[in-house]
Amino acid sequence: MRLFEGTPFDRPPRCEKCDQLEEECICPPEPSFRIPPEQQTARLSIEKRKKGKRVTVIRGLPAEGNDLPELLKQIKDRCGAGGALKDEDLEIQGEQLDRVRETLQQMGFKVKG
């Protein structure tokens, strides 16, 4: 007898939408943006931190309408820099204003700053 035999942990995972096994599920993946990017405006700025470090800050994108961690990852990969998510602000290390603006515009966001 197995440790979890007959418990909910023993059963294979099922899709929450169609209740089929995850291997057999044909549901489309959920989009990473629930609010279309064309309806959102990102505000860009450069701020100075401790010891003279500069950070590019992206504001104005609501957390409930976006997958901010995934968006941050894409921007960091594109810029080749580190970054962090603080509240609803995305911070990219360095003066990356042009690259961030270009990346967000390619994704379909309106950009100010």
Residue 39, in any domain of the structure: yes
CATH code: domain of residue 60: 3.30.780.10
Residue 60, in any domain of the structure: yes
CA-closest candidate to residue 58, choices 74, 39, 72: 72
Task: Please report the pLDDT score of residue 2 as a whole number.
Answer: 72
Find out whether 17 and 27 touch, Cβ atoms under 8 Å.
yes
The pair of three-digit structure tokens given for residue 15, joined into one six-digit string: 């899709």
Residue 51, in any domain of the structure: yes
Domain range enclosing 46: 34-112
Mean pLDDT estimate for the chain: 88
Query: How far apart are the C-alpha atoms of 82 and 48, rounded to whole Å?
Result: 16
Query: How far apart are the C-alpha atoms of 75 and 62, rounded to whole Å?
Result: 17
Is the pLDDT score of 1 beyond 70?
no
Residue 22, in any domain of the structure: no
Residue 41, in any domain of the structure: yes
Residue 17, in any domain of the structure: no
Is the pLDDT score of 33 beyond 70?
no
Total structural domains in the chain?
A: 1
Find out whether 111 and 41 touch, Cβ atoms under 8 Å.
yes
* Burial category of 90 from C-beta neighbours within 10 Å (exposed 0-12, middle 13-18, buried 19 and up): buried
**111: part of which helix (H) or strand (E)?**
strand 110-112
Residue 42, in any domain of the structure: yes
pLDDT tens by residue, 16-31: 888 888 888 888 776 6
Residue 85, in any domain of the structure: yes
Is the pLDDT score of 80 beyond 80?
yes
